[in-house]
Amino acid sequence: MKLHTIVVLSDGESWGGLDSSSVLAITEEQHRGLCDGSLRVGDIAPVLELGLYDHPVSEQARAEEAYFSVQDQAIIDHCEDPPNDEGVTA
């Protein structure tokens, strides 16, 4: 089964593909300019831009995620019960 990742905007109707979309942090002045129509998004130099990309999840990626989550839990468990000076846990 092939999955597609989309972004749905706050109006609940507008949507588009995630690939090559961006989340922008802009100033108050830039926001006002967008709202009053004196600026277009392409005119803005954002304070911060987070690019988004659609990376399909493969079976290999799922297997690796499962493996590493088990390893991460083993590390957490070990840290919650650290070994003493002789390397023995309580």
Domain ranges across the chain: 1-56, 57-90
- C-alpha–C-alpha distance, residues 23 and 46, integer Å: 10
**Would you say how long the chain is, in residues?**
90
Instruction: Please report which confidence band the pLDDT of residue 4 belongs to, taking 50, 70 and 90 as the band edges.
Output: confident
In this prediction, residues 7-25 reach a mean pLDDT of 86
pLDDT at position 53: 75
Q: What are the beta bridge partners of residue 17?
A: 6
Which one-letter DSSP state was computed for residue 28? H
Q: What confidence tens digit (pLDDT) does each residue in 42-56 have?
A: 989 999 998 887 766
In terms of Cα–Cα distance, which of 46, 57, 49 is closest to 20? 49
Q: Which residue has the higher pLDDT, 4 or 80?
A: 4
